Structures are given as C-alpha cells and as structure tokens.
Amino acid sequence: MGKLEFDSELLLKDILNFYRTFTIQGIKFFADMKNTNLVEVYSIVILFKNKYINIFQSPLFQTNSSIIETEDMVLVVDPTTLPHEIIEIRNYVSSIRKDRPVYVFFTHSDWDHILGYNGIGEVIYIGSEKMMIRNDKERILEQINSFDDQYYLVRDYEVSYPHINYLVSKDGQQLKIGNTTITFYTSPGHTDDSLFAIIEPIGILLSGDYLSDIEFPYIYHNSYEYENTMNKVDSILLNHSINLLVPGHGNPTEDSQEILKRKTDSLAYIRELRSSLKNEDEQRADKLLQGWQFPKIMGEFHKGNKDLIKKELQTSKY
C-alpha cells in the first residue's frame, strides 16, 4: 500500500470509523456472551495459521503481519498497524521465541510496512540495501507521524526509520540460519526497494505488495520494472517448492495456479493501462477499475498509476 498522502483524510476517517464501529459491536457482543475485558475484544485477527506461520491481519487495508517459526529462528514480517496490534504481535513473539533469534523482515519501505520498527523488542532487522540509501526517509516518517497524530494514536516505542542489520542487494542472496534458508529476490516496480523472500524448507513465499487478490498493481516506482518482477514468478515457482504465498495485503494462497493467475492479472492490468494511455483512451483505461471492491480509494491509486505511466510514455527508454 504505502503511498497514501494524507490529503485523503475522509477516506481514512471512513476506514477508522468502520474499525471503531466493528470494535464497539464486538464489545457489546462479547459482553453479552461472557465477562471479558477490552484487551480481549481488541485482539488482532489471525487470518491464517499452520504449524509454521501465523498471519495477523489488520483491518486497515487488510495488511498482513506474518510470524514464521522454524526450529532455528522466528521471523516477523512487516509488523503493523495500530498500536494494540503491534503490542499483540510483540507479546506473541515473546511467548514463542524461547532461545531462538528473532528477525524482522521489511519487504519494502512503505510507511504502513515499517511503522513497527522498534516495536517488537530485541531483534535483527532484514531489508534491502536500497532501503538504506533512500533520500526521502523523512517523508516516510512524516506519513507515520501524520497518521498517528490525526487519530490520536500513542505508541509505546519510538517511531523512526529502520536501520537494517542484514542488507539484501541481489537476486538469489541467501541467509542461512541453522537448517533454515531465506532466499531473496529483488522486486522493484511497486517501490525500488521491494524484496521477495522464500523461507525453506517450509516453502513460504513472502511477496510484499505484489500478488494480492484484493489490489491491482500499485506502481510507485516503474511499470516496466513491475512487469520484470512479475516475470520472475514463474522461475521462482520452478526453482523453489512453494507451499504458501503471503502478500502484504489480502489473502494468502496455497494454490500455485492462483499465484500464476495473480501474476497474469497484474501483467494484464499494466499492459492494458499502458496501451489505453498510449492511445489516449481514458475511458478504456478507467474500465480497469470495474469489479474492484473499494473503487473510491482505489480510484486514487489508479489515477497515480495513470500519471506515472503517462510520464513513462513521454520519456520512455524501453
């Protein structure tokens, strides 16, 4: 998600009002059912769970935070979003870590994916080398601070831009932790600092803000590089045994055909949008919004994609 500037205040208010309404209804329901307290009602949603992974999902943008455990380590992926959600993730990690090292992996530098930095405790941070050389770190921090300020959110940790301990710079780079191997692939397009990661031997593919079932491509960096990233998916499935895909937003899948469908749909969106704009057919371009669940806010991201691709077409070297 990420590149949502806070001129869209009404949209965010709608989202928070929905969350507050949902919570109030939950309080009334559980109060009728049993004696409980607010901490229990505020529990974060566990979207998916098996022997190796718990996927916690925030209702804000359906953003996923995964906790993966093997015999060698615990890996937390993009811990987010609301303060009580970060606390629940931290408490869960503390309850399972034992004497294993804990790593936090940031799939990319969007504000909604890094705001859990400093919130999980003593950990080792993993991210791309390009995350550390960004020249707009203050802008990203301002997005977090604006979000917290607008909704009176108080966090029990310092909000700052991540310092990465283990830097990833190339395709196929591997981090070995005992019998666990994490293989990384650079995935520019959405942002220039995005990464895929594959956890082996358990076969989990972490895709960040790609391969979602609830979002079309949100392109902040480059549409051609986004296509190149999607074209890596086939070789990843060929060279790795993938049992589970976890996107940054939306639903995970254990179905390789569903993964390929999401890739194909992403490529089709980009190519149709580029073709429409090349032919100056705005109406055809906007038909791509049809069928998506949240057209109001997605219309803004679609407009951002159109603006970016128009600039690419004017100055294209591809």
Q: Give me the pLDDT at residue 46, please.
A: 94
Tokens of 256: 């390789």
Q: Is 55 helix (H, G, I), strand (E, B) or coil?
A: strand
Compare 33 and 96 and report the one with higher pLDDT.
96
Summarize pLDDT for 149-190 with one digit per residue, the tens.
999 999 999 999 999 999 999 999 999 999 999 999 999 999
Residue given tokens 């919130």 in the structure block? 119
Q: Give me the pLDDT at residue 86, please.
A: 97
240 close to 198: Cβ distance less than 8 angstroms: yes
Region class of 120: left (phi > 0), else alpha (psi between -120 and 50), else beta: alpha
Compare 315 and 213 and report the one with higher pLDDT.
213
pLDDT bin (cut points 50, 70, 90) of residue 317 is: low
Summarize pLDDT for 242-267 with one digit per residue, the tens.
999 999 999 999 999 999 999 999 99
Secondary structure tally for the chain: helices H, strands E: 11, 12
H-assigned helices in the chain: 9-33, 38-41, 83-96, 111-114, 129-132, 137-150, 223-230, 233-239, 256-278, 282-286, 295-315
Please check the confidence at residue 228 and state whether its pLDDT lies above 60. Answer: yes
pLDDT bin (cut points 50, 70, 90) of residue 316 is: confident
Q: Give me the pLDDT at residue 299, please.
A: 97
Neighbouring residues of 202: CB distance < 8 A, sequence distance ≥ 6:
52, 68, 70, 243
Q: Give me the pLDDT at residue 43, please.
A: 61
Share of the chain above pLDDT 70, in %: 86
Query: Mean pLDDT in the chain?
Result: 90
pLDDT bin (cut points 50, 70, 90) of residue 293 is: very high
Please check the confidence at residue 268 and state whether its pLDDT lies above 60. Answer: yes
**How do strand 53-58 and strand 63-69 relate by DSSP bridges?**
antiparallel
Summarize pLDDT for 8-51 with one digit per residue, the tens.
444 455 544 444 444 433 333 333 333 434 333 346 789 999 99
- The predicted model gives 200-227 an average pLDDT of 98
Phi, psi of 161 (to 5 degrees): -75, 140
Q: Give me the pLDDT at residue 44, please.
A: 77
Q: Which of 67, 109, 107 is nearest to 90 (CA)?
A: 67
- How far is 36 from 208, CA to CA, in rounded Å? 35
pLDDT bin (cut points 50, 70, 90) of residue 318 is: low
